[in-house]
């Protein structure tokens, strides 16, 4: 590999300045422009931040060209044989694998904090039954601030661990309550004897007359979905958590903001759009070929949902794992899912089409994750909620990394202003005379 220079030289007119080059563990290179404006008066313009590193982080590594994803250095594929979401959460947050004792203590903490405050539980009764579960989730995470005011200013590891455990545990209870509310069903309290994923499924699906019994395949699949979503470096929602956290907002508020960012259809909402797209084809609303044609059309805003990624330009390693898991789980079910066949057909068509291959558009994690969630009986409007449960450890890990970094400052980008040049208020009123006359 060519030697990486230590400095970059920037020439602006007749001024030349040297900018340091920062090199990451895996050789990724960045030009450090921290002093650029001070020294030249210039800023950089990168509206979608695609070329901008906003921090140095030791949590997750992605190589989008090679389809690599690693949590704390461990390739994502290697977690398939160790599917404990709680262990992965600990790894991401604290930077190394927990010992058996540490994992046991953290799991105990999760069990201790799994109940919601009774007032919070009563609040659910006031929420309209058709309220979007993501709205309930973001509001409820933010509301944790008023039940745990002692955890708003985190000054030591102990209170951080308390806040993190409360979030990771209660998010599951909130998610299940949101689902039960939408179904008009009584809430199920968490069962301390059940492990993380089983407990979530129990709270969602057990009925007063019938305890929900899930197969090991379903529990493993849910574990897998959660751990595959656990972190993805500076994605939209994680960056949001960092932006909010950089103002020293508390952990609950920062993660609630992350939920809002995840809600959008270009981010966490994409697997919902995938299912809607597959259902439309299934109901005869369009053929797979028409779907591909519409996704390619410049006259349409429609996209082939579950395809493309800002970072992965070859393949998304999570999509392969999810696809295999889909095959495994559906093999154990007595009923198939016609949408799975349609998804395979769409994938086949897209991978043969130059529009997609030329633009490096391949299936992302969302293309098959919705199908896997459907196989567990999880309804479409809960998909992004489940994604949030999975992504929470990543948000917490990033919030902590930033909080513990003595050099971190409030995130406050600049802009290139393109509005009106200075104008006197009197001339502005001339352009709007009715305002001048009424004095309003
Ligand atoms: N279907 C059709 N065309 C697409 C798609 C798609 N899914 N994705 C990108 N393109 C096209 C764009 O129209 C654009 O074409 P052009 O060069 O002719 O103008 C080109 O590919 C580049 O697309 P961008 O929008 O610039 O790519 P960007 O990196 O900004 O967006 C994104 C990435 C948002 C994921 C995009 O690929 C997309 O909208 N995909 C569908 C939604 C989706 O699946 N989101 C989930 C992402 S993964 C996650 O959040 C967990």
Read off the pLDDT of each residue in 123-151 and give the average, rounded to a whole number. Answer: 92
* Residue of minimum CA distance from atom 17 in ligand 1: 359
Q: Is 435 exposed, middle or buried (0-12, 13-18, 19+ CB in 10 A)?
A: exposed
| Distance of CA 418 from the midpoint of ligand 1 (Å) | 27
- Residue 63, number of CB atoms within 10 A of its CB: 16
In the chain, what percentage of residues exceed pLDDT 90?
A: 82
Average pLDDT over residues 65-91: 94
pLDDT at 181 over 70: yes
Question: Which residue's CA lies nearest to atom 31 of ligand 1?
Answer: 310
Region 90-115: mean pLDDT is 97
| Cβ 266 under 6 angstroms from ligand 1 | yes
What distances in angstroms separate CA 100 from CA 86, 90, 103, 106, 195, one per listed residue?
12, 12, 5, 10, 15
Residues 6+ apart with CB under 8 A from 122: none
pLDDT of 440 higher than 70:
no
CA distance 388 to 311: 20
- Residue 117 is a catalytic residue: no
21, pLDDT greater than 90: yes
Query: Distance between CA 384 and CA 179 in Å, rounded?
Result: 12
Burial class (CB in 10 A: 0-12, 13-18, 19+), 136: buried
Averaged pLDDT, 311-321: 92
Terminal Cα-to-Cα distance of the chain (whole angstroms): 67
Question: CB 409: neighbour CB atoms within 10 A?
Answer: 7
Q: What is the pLDDT of residues 188-241, one digit of tens each?
A: 999 999 999 999 999 999 998 888 988 899 999 999 999 999 999 999 999 999
Average pLDDT, the chain: 93
- The confidence score (pLDDT) of residue 57 equals 98
Handedness of CA 302, 366, 50, 409 (dihedral sign): positive
Closest residue to atom 25 of ligand 1, CA basis: 310
> CB of 372 within 8 A of CB of 218?
no
Kind and range of the H or E run holding 70: strand 68-71
**Does the pLDDT of residue 328 top 80, yes or no?**
yes
Tell me the whole-structure pTM to 2 decimals: 0.92
Task: Report how far residue 257's alpha carbon sits from residue 389's, in angstroms, rounded to the nearest whole number.
Answer: 14
| Å from CA of 348 to ligand 1 middle | 18
C-alpha pair distances (Å), 69 with each of 227, 321, 403 = 12, 12, 24
User: Cα–Cα–Cα angle for 163, 394, 166, nearest 5°?
Assistant: 20
Q: 59 near 233, Cβ under 8 Å?
A: yes
Structural element, H or E, at residue 347: helix 338-351
Question: How far is 212 from 208, CA to CA, in rounded Å?
Answer: 10
Q: Does residue 324 carry a catalytic annotation?
A: no
CB of 64 closer than 8 Å to CB of 312: yes
C-alpha angle with apex 133: 129 to 134, nearest 5 degrees? Answer: 145
Q: Of these residues, 309, 316, 337, 398, which one is catalytic?
A: 309
């Amino acid at each position: 590999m060519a030697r990486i220079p230590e400095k970059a030289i920037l020439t602006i007119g007749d001024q030349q300045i040297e900018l340091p080059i920062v090199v990451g563990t895996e050789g990724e290179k960045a030009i450090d422009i921290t002093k650029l404006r001070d020294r030249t008066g210039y800023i950089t313009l990168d509206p979608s931040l695609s070329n901008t590193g906003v921090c140095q982080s030791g949590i997750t590594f992605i190589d989008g060209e090679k389809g690599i994803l690693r949590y704390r250095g461990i390739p994502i594929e290697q977690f398939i044989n160790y599917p404990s979401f709680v262990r992965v959460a600990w790894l991401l947050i604290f930077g190394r694998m927990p010992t058996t004792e540490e994992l046991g203590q953290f799991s105990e903490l999760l069990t201790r904090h799994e109940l919601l405050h009774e007032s919070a539980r009563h609040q659910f009764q006031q929420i309209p039954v058709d309220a979007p579960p993501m709205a309930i989730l973001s509001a409820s995470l933010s509301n944790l601030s008023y039940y745990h005011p002692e955890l708003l200013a985190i000054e030591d590891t102990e209170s951080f661990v308390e806040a993190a455990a409360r979030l990771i545990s209660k998010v599951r209870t909130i998610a299940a309550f949101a689902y039960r509310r939408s179904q008009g069903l009584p809430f199920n309290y968490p069962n301390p004897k059940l492990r993380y994923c089983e407990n979530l499924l129990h709270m969602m699906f057990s009925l007063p007359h019938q305890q929900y019994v899930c197969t090991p395949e379903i529990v493993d699949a849910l574990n897998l979905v959660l751990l595959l979503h656990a972190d993805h470096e500076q994605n939209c929602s994680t960056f949001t958590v960092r932006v909010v956290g950089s103002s020293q907002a508390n952990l609950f508020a920062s993660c609630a903001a992350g939920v809002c960012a995840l809600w959008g259809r270009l981010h966490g909402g994409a697997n919902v759009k995938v299912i809607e797209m597959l259902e439309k084809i299934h109901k005869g609303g369009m053929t797979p070929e028409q779907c591909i044609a519409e996704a390619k059309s410049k006259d349409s805003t429609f996209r082939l949902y579950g395809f493309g990624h800002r970072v992965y330009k070859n393949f998304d390693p999570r999509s392969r794992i999810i696809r295999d898991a889909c095959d495994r789980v559906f093999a154990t079910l007595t009923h198939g899912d016609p949408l799975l066949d349609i998804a395979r057909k769409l994938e086949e068509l897209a991978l043969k089409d130059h529009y997609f291959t030329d633009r490096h558009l391949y299936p992302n994690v969302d293309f098959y994750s919705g199908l896997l969630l459907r196989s567990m009986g999880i309804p479409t409007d809960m998909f992004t909620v489940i994604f949030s449960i999975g992504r929470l450890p990543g948000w917490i890990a990033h919030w902590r990394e930033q909080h513990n970094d003595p050099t971190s400052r409030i995130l406050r980008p600049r802009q290139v202003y393109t509005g009106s040049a200075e104008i006197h208020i009197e001339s502005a009123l001339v352009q709007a005379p009715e305002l001048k006359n009424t004095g309003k």
